[in-house]
Structure 1
């Protein structure tokens, strides 16, 4: 009667139906873990991308559609000092070293879990005790003292009938892969940050030198205006305007220097150095913008971006978690065995009469857990659905990243071309004006004014040159790594050969 009452419980009926459905459906315990189909846009941005940029400073960048991502793309800048900085950062960055060790620890935890869940456990134990038996006064013999000596081996193994352990191992292996892809992403981000910081520092240095010259020219102009005002040649307003221009330029210089120092300090830390050991600035003119930039097609981008690969691995882990939650509803079978020697004295314990052994089997089937098992499975399914949405968002964000950087390169080239033309024109005016001033045809104020126009145009050219170089680095970073099918970075999934049902093929 108790058994029939239990079987009438609604949760037990659900379990029975689920068990039968599982048998008929070849034990499909959860989702396959395959990523959802994503749209394959004809081009990344709202507008069709050009095949090349406009020429700027004599260089036209080619967008090579369908090309593979470049692993060590920073070498395309053709700067040995830049290559040295990136290599140093990849070797000595504490953040990268910590991520590497965390990944190594995760791999060892995976090996430990696989070994403990897939193989039997064997333990050796020994015990030696001295005991005093209790007696009842006036009814029993005198107090008895005796020794017990026991030594034995114990073996325990749980059969993974429905794949709960194998699916748990697969989930952990997928999470190790997530960490491995995150480590790849961290390496690439570190390289991109070093390149960007080095270029930015070099550009800021050049801007500071140009701004200092502008400050010198403005101060000379202010002093000259002061003398002319004293002679009555200009108005008081002209004098104040000259002083205001000189003071404004001087006020912009400390902020620029602070920005330069901050960038240098950040670069030093990226390299694993202290800020006082910041490297010398690169020569901005010695950095060559890469003329050919790969544009990975969207379908290939899904396999080359570490962040998308990490989202894919997280999806597989969530699918395995659903299988684990399902498998926990089904029977579990364990075997145990023990053999050894025991006795009340060492001679007896070590003799044939002291042989002891035991065999046992344990079978358990969840019947009623207050709905916890079903709730856990529903939670796992909801988590899986959330992971699917996160995968979609990661892919869309990657497409946006590529689209933005492609658009930036085209607009950088246009702005740099215009700034370069303005700087060359201003330089020509400055050279001609300086020549006429030396001949006495023009006053010094005209020569000074033409140089100020040239230096301001030069500042714009430096800014746009820096933007083009750093945005090129951002596009290389956005393309990811060439996919390597033969050796996944975590090498974890191969250690746990499980199928989606938890039953080996």
Structure 2
């Protein structure tokens, strides 16, 4: 046991009196680009708009305003203001900061207390010198002070660990705030897209039913076969069967959006007009080296790493001596006049020094556990960084393919719309029967469904990319200084 303590003390002396790791995050690879292939400078043009990926640009704090929709801005502002989850996280952070202030004050400053005592009791008398018991009063009032010297930094390391936990909660709150904004934006886009799909599908069902009625009339007249009539009826029923699922999905999205806003589901907001949203033309792509400072989840992992390093210092400091001093002064006596006079003056002063000798190996085991926890925090930090790189890479890839899919869908939709217009004109001239125009319109509406899905996917993935970029470095630094300022 003594040999182990001497080895630990020697290592500490050689390490410039550092009782734990420095808490610096490990060096991470700095890829030239996020994905398996370099991202393009801009997406393909779709629906008349192309998005430019600005490499090295800083994250945008209120990125949802780039959609240029006042209604969307109102929803996000309401959610950030009224969300119970966000409010609970904020109150939890306030409580954590107050706990840190309490711990710092109690560990670094002396403790001074005032106390008083008034008792009446019967005790044993002097043997063979009077009655066997004596009845007397005792009055005591004094002020006591105590202070423990932080010789080896146990209190300092404990405060640093708790401050790191406070910073971690602050970064998690920022991550929750940004995630809430992204969920509100994607929820509003999803509800608007589902509403548009329902409108188009209802029109498809109406056209299919017209075809079925027309087939029934032609079958009754003998100009269509029974198979043609049944196929038309089957097509109308199949299309109609899609509507309940779409409506259920649309209502579920609206209900979820209402809860994100802090409302009850019956007060879900009205749907946005998908066409009123403008896809942001410029999207920032933070450099991989800077993403470590902008992503709140990475910053939270960094704070957890610093807290674990400080806990190693706490566990190591517990192996060394502890020095405390105490003092008290006051008045006391067996009656009030004596207690209040100079004869009743009481005082004491003392010091205590303790050195752990044998605790059944508990202190060394706690130190080994703290080191293992720190090593785990290092690996968790690495995994968080890798997951962040993957998140950005996947979102960039999705956004690029969304634009390509939307470009093809938009081209097909425009061609089908022109063909439908031509068919309608020919019907008015009597060149083709009405059912031919309905078939052309159905092709256009099916193409329109693809365009709606691709357009909403591009807008949602744009929001995901803004979210993946994190917060500006300045705001992250302000949050990380919250715990430090408390210690100071």
Which TM-score band (shorter chain)? over 0.9
Map Cα deviations across residues 337-367 of structure 1 (whole Å, 9 max, x no partner).
1110000000000000000011111101111
Aligned counterpart for 2:424 among listed residues 428, 434, 437 = 434
Taking the aligned partners of 1:17 and 1:407, their CA distance within structure 2 comes to: 54
Q: Which residue of 2 aligns with 1:57?
A: 47
Does the 8 Å contact 1:176/1:490 carry over to 2?
Answer: no
Q: Which residue of 2 aligns with 1:177?
A: 167
Kindly state the Cα deviation for residue 140 of structure 1 after the two structures are TM-superposed.
Answer: 4.2
Does the 8 Å contact 1:178/1:309 carry over to 2?
Answer: yes
For the structure 1 residues 304 and 348, does the alpha-carbon distance in structure 2 shift closer, same or farther, using more than 3 Å as the test?
same
Does the 8 Å contact 1:188/1:477 carry over to 2?
Answer: yes
Kindly state the Cα deviation for residue 226 of structure 1 after the two structures are TM-superposed.
Answer: 1.5
The alignment partner of 2:131 has SS state of coil
The alignment partner of 2:482 has SS state of coil
Aligned counterpart for 2:153 among listed residues 148, 163, 167 = 163
Does the 8 Å contact 2:259/2:265 carry over to 1?
Answer: yes
The alignment partner of 1:64 has SS state of strand
TM-score (norm 2): 0.98
Taking the aligned partners of 1:434 and 1:446, their CA distance within structure 2 comes to: 9
Q: Which residue of 1 aligns with 2:179?
A: 189
Does the 8 Å contact 1:155/1:338 carry over to 2?
Answer: yes
Q: Is 1:380 aligned to residue 367 of structure 2? A: no
Q: Is 1:236 aligned to residue 217 of structure 2? A: no
> Number of residue pairs matched?
487
Q: Is 1:90 aligned to residue 80 of structure 2? A: yes
Does the 8 Å contact 1:315/1:384 carry over to 2?
Answer: yes
For the structure 1 residues 36 and 166, does the alpha-carbon distance in structure 2 shift closer, same or farther, using more than 3 Å as the test?
same
Map Cα deviations across residues 145-165 of structure 1 (whole Å, 9 max, x no partner).
110000000101000000001
Map Cα deviations across residues 447-489 of structure 1 (whole Å, 9 max, x no partner).
1100100111011100001000000000000000110175235
Q: Which residue of 1 aligns with 2:35?
A: 45
Q: Is 1:396 aligned to residue 396 of structure 2? A: no
Kindly state the Cα deviation for residue 142 of structure 1 after the two structures are TM-superposed.
Answer: 5.6
Does the 8 Å contact 2:332/2:339 carry over to 1?
Answer: yes
Taking the aligned partners of 1:419 and 1:492, their CA distance within structure 2 comes to: 52
**Paired residues for 1:118-129 under 5 Å:** 118-129=108-119
Does the 8 Å contact 2:211/2:232 carry over to 1?
Answer: yes
Taking the aligned partners of 2:134 and 2:188, their CA distance within structure 1 comes to: 85
Does the 8 Å contact 1:181/1:490 carry over to 2?
Answer: no
Aligned counterpart for 2:458 among listed residues 465, 468, 471 = 468
Taking the aligned partners of 1:137 and 1:333, their CA distance within structure 2 comes to: 41
Q: Which residue of 1 aligns with 2:447?
A: 457
Taking the aligned partners of 1:92 and 1:449, their CA distance within structure 2 comes to: 49
Aligned counterpart for 2:483 among listed residues 475, 480, 492 = 492
Taking the aligned partners of 1:140 and 1:350, their CA distance within structure 2 comes to: 28
Q: Which residue of 2 aligns with 1:115?
A: 105
Which has the larger displacement, 25-34 or 99-108?
25-34
Taking the aligned partners of 2:56 and 2:14, their CA distance within structure 1 comes to: 46
Aligned counterpart for 1:335 among listed residues 310, 325, 335 = 325
Taking the aligned partners of 1:184 and 1:486, their CA distance within structure 2 comes to: 12
The alignment partner of 1:41 has SS state of coil
Taking the aligned partners of 1:142 and 1:88, their CA distance within structure 2 comes to: 79
Map Cα deviations across residues 351-407 of structure 1 (whole Å, 9 max, x no partner).
000000111111011111111111111111111111011000100000001001111
Kindly state the Cα deviation for residue 137 of structure 1 after the two structures are TM-superposed.
Answer: 10
Aligned counterpart for 2:294 among listed residues 291, 304, 317 = 304
- Which ranges in structure 2 are unaligned for 5 or more consecutive residues? none
The alignment partner of 1:46 has SS state of coil
Give the root-mean-square deviation of aligned CA atoms: 1.4
Kindly state the Cα deviation for residue 490 of structure 1 after the two structures are TM-superposed.
Answer: 5.7
Map Cα deviations across residues 50-96 of structure 1 (whole Å, 9 max, x no partner).
10011001111000000000000000001111111111111111110
The alignment partner of 1:487 has SS state of helix
Kindly state the Cα deviation for residue 133 of structure 1 after the two structures are TM-superposed.
Answer: 2.0
Aligned counterpart for 2:313 among listed residues 294, 311, 323 = 323
Taking the aligned partners of 1:90 and 1:427, their CA distance within structure 2 comes to: 41
Which has the larger displacement, 484-493 or 274-283?
484-493
Q: Which residue of 2 aligns with 1:23?
A: 13
Taking the aligned partners of 2:194 and 2:7, their CA distance within structure 1 comes to: 71
Taking the aligned partners of 2:456 and 2:229, their CA distance within structure 1 comes to: 36
The alignment partner of 1:86 has SS state of helix
Kindly state the Cα deviation for residue 136 of structure 1 after the two structures are TM-superposed.
Answer: 9.3
Which has the larger displacement, 237-246 or 426-435?
237-246
The alignment partner of 1:376 has SS state of helix
The alignment partner of 1:492 has SS state of helix
Kindly state the Cα deviation for residue 16 of structure 1 after the two structures are TM-superposed.
Answer: 2.6
Q: Is 1:421 aligned to residue 411 of structure 2? A: yes
Q: Which residue of 2 aligns with 1:287?
A: 277
Q: Which residue of 2 aligns with 1:100?
A: 90
Q: Is 1:227 aligned to residue 241 of structure 2? A: no
Taking the aligned partners of 1:27 and 1:248, their CA distance within structure 2 comes to: 77
- Which ranges in structure 1 are unaligned for 5 or more consecutive residues? 1-10, 498-505
Taking the aligned partners of 2:330 and 2:96, their CA distance within structure 1 comes to: 37
Taking the aligned partners of 1:28 and 1:97, their CA distance within structure 2 comes to: 39
